[in-house]
Chain A
């Protein structure tokens, strides 16, 4: 283990990194864990089973899962077109994919609200057919799709670029139809990557706050997300309630982070071991 190192700076670099991480990330997270552990397991469950809290958690997790699923489908389409079909303006549209990363969430939030409000550019057309998006759970979904969109595309692109085309060509030579090739050859090869993109988009959408709260309308039991409830608990000095929700969301983040790490390892091995 202790082979002499030629390069300097190991102790300095590691010491500094650990001290900084400890102060900025780990100590604050420990404060949350400590506060939540003070409630005890029963107390935690009791706080989370309040109907309004339960409804908010359901909306955050259900909405985020649905949004991530939508992003997998649309993201696959967009990534496929950007990688496979050259068209004028492709570079521009490729850059546009990153817009949800770059645009601050509060700005995205008020822009989406203006767009989907009943008198907005898109909202008025939807209102004409009886669909209301802004100030309903549907609005939450729209915002969640928006913030999660780049994850699927950016995860897929490098994999699509490196996909060997001989397998597809072989299948075609053997007489497979285009959609058969897609379903039976391409889709299985992309499965781990699609799952990774799903998990990343899910992680982002579950905790999303800024872009959701404006368009959601925040009606308790109906269109109120879990992060907003944390903020409201804090405003009413209900630190226990805020900590209970916070630790539940943090636990979910940990599980997802672990899943993403394992998925990425799997898809790397998949990519390397692919015929």
Chain B
């Protein structure tokens, strides 16, 4: 494989480079791009008419509305948590800081199914609060609040994970200067901190939102799959697929695939344009 004389970039070395590059590109194309292409090909298998008919159905519309609702609650809440947690983690030293960091990361390493299971054990009919909730007529499991909670659990780390390394790298000086010059806490936050972290914040919200809208495992456990009431887009994909409505399943799935593509494009643009202000971060945007 390799050149006899390593100092001369001979043809054999160029050939080796070419072959390695070809292998990498071939893998990425067959293994990652082809599944993406499949989604759109299968969705359009019976033409545009069938495609639009199946995403225009009532169940699809209510699934889209529910997905947007869940993300609209979960993402802002995790945004506020992310800022609060990053502020504490990046600006202060305190006992138990490493433990707090580990807890913030925890949802990333828990199986989505386990994330759903814990809420069933907490709020389900046989759970800790199940009997009390039932006697008061409050439904969490097999209802929208359960979907929101499971999504919050799964997407909790995204914003904090983007902000912590960036804010640590930026240091305390600018904010301390603002305080010394007489700014109030909130003035300092809105005029110094927020402008400094805006692109990383957007980046974190982007990833958080993509996961919130696409989450399947955790949501599947707490949903109960009640059509029109507790099915988000990914659950609608599953139900259609299990009913052998392949075109319908891929049609709805293609909406999520478009969201994924949009997320990747915006993410890449942010990385190219504002790479320095993102402080590229721990592996796995996840």
Q: Which residues of A contact B264 (CB under 8 A)?
A: 95, 98-99, 102
Q: Taking the complex as formed, is A45 at the interface, i.e. its CB lies under 8 A from any CB of chain B?
A: no
The one of A93, A154, A237 in contact with B28, judged by C-beta atoms closer than 8 angstroms, is A93
Q: For chain B residues 76-101, which have a beta carbon within 8 Å of chain A?
A: 77, 80-81, 84-85, 87-88, 91-92, 94-95, 100
With A and B bound together, what is the CA distance between A89 and B26 in angstroms?
13
CB-nearest residue of chain A relative to B12? A178
Q: Which residue, B87, B261, B268, has most C-beta atoms of chain A within 10 A? A: B87
Q: Taking the complex as formed, is A136 at the interface, i.e. its CB lies under 8 A from any CB of chain B?
A: no
Q: Taking the complex as formed, is B220 at the interface, i.e. its CB lies under 8 A from any CB of chain A?
A: yes
CB-nearest residue of chain A relative to B104? A21
Q: Which residues of A contact B122 (CB under 8 A)?
A: 27-28, 31
| Residue contact B38 to A115, C-beta cutoff 8 Å | yes
Closest chain-A Cβ to B150's Cβ sits at a distance in Å of 9
Size range of the chain B interface in the assembly: 35 or more
With A and B bound together, what is the CA distance between A107 and B211 in angstroms?
12
| Residue contact A104 to B215, C-beta cutoff 8 Å | yes
Interface of B is mostly: helix
With A and B bound together, what is the CA distance between A155 and B284 in angstroms?
8
CB-nearest residue of chain A relative to B17? A85
| Residue contact B234 to A210, C-beta cutoff 8 Å | yes
Q: For chain A residues 30-86, which have a beta carbon within 8 Å of chain B?
A: 31-32, 34-35, 74, 77-78, 80-82, 85
Q: Taking the complex as formed, is B24 at the interface, i.e. its CB lies under 8 A from any CB of chain A?
A: yes
Q: Which residues of A contact B127 (CB under 8 A)?
A: 31
Closest chain-A Cβ to B216's Cβ sits at a distance in Å of 4
Interface of A is mostly: helix
Q: Quick one: CB contact mask for A189-201 with B, threshold 8 Å, 1 for yes?
A: 0000000110010
Q: Which residue, A35, A146, A155, A158, has most C-beta atoms of chain B within 10 A? A: A35
Q: Which residues of A contact B280 (CB under 8 A)?
A: 158
The one of B3, B21, B110, B214 in contact with A253, judged by C-beta atoms closer than 8 angstroms, is B110
CB-nearest residue of chain B relative to A10? B92
| Residue contact A106 to B238, C-beta cutoff 8 Å | yes
The one of B23, B117, B188 in contact with A243, judged by C-beta atoms closer than 8 angstroms, is B117
With A and B bound together, what is the CA distance between A149 and B28 in angstroms?
10
| Residue contact B176 to A6, C-beta cutoff 8 Å | yes
How many contacts between A and B, using CB within 8 angstroms?
Answer: 302
- Contacts A24-B149, A151-B284 given; indicate if A178 touches B28 (C-beta within 8 A): no
| Residue contact B112 to A227, C-beta cutoff 8 Å | yes
With A and B bound together, what is the CA distance between A3 and B27 in angstroms?
55
Q: Taking the complex as formed, is B53 at the interface, i.e. its CB lies under 8 A from any CB of chain A?
A: no
A interface size (C-beta, 8 A): 102
Q: For chain B residues 206-240, which have a beta carbon within 8 Å of chain A?
A: 207, 210, 213-217, 220-221, 234-235, 237-238
- Contacts A146-B31, A227-B112 given; indicate if A214 touches B84 (C-beta within 8 A): no
Q: Which residues of A contact B124 (CB under 8 A)?
A: 239
Q: Which residues of A contact B106 (CB under 8 A)?
A: 25, 29, 253, 257
Q: Quick one: CB contact mask for A214-231 with B, threshold 8 Å, 1 for yes?
A: 100000000000011011
| Residue contact A122 to B30, C-beta cutoff 8 Å | yes
| Residue contact B185 to A178, C-beta cutoff 8 Å | no
| Residue contact B284 to A178, C-beta cutoff 8 Å | no
Q: A176-B6, A207-B110 are in contact. List 17 more A-B contacts (CB 8 A).
A: A24-B152, A24-B156, A28-B121, A74-B27, A89-B25, A101-B285, A103-B256, A106-B256, A108-B35, A112-B35, A120-B38, A177-B2, A210-B216, A227-B112, A231-B221, A239-B126, A246-B118
B residues neighboring A (CB under 8 Å): 1-3, 6-7, 13, 16-17, 20-21, 23-25, 27-28, 30-36, 38-39, 42, 77, 80-81, 84-85, 87-88, 91-92, 94-95, 100, 102-114, 117-122, 124, 126-128, 149, 152-153, 156, 172, 175-176, 179-180, 185, 188-189, 207, 210, 213-217, 220-221, 234-235, 237-238, 241, 246, 249-250, 253, 256-257, 260-261, 263-265, 267-268, 272, 280, 283-286
Can you list 7 contacts pairing A with B, beta carbon distance less than 8 Å? A78-B24, A81-B20, A104-B256, A106-B253, A154-B283, A210-B216, A260-B109
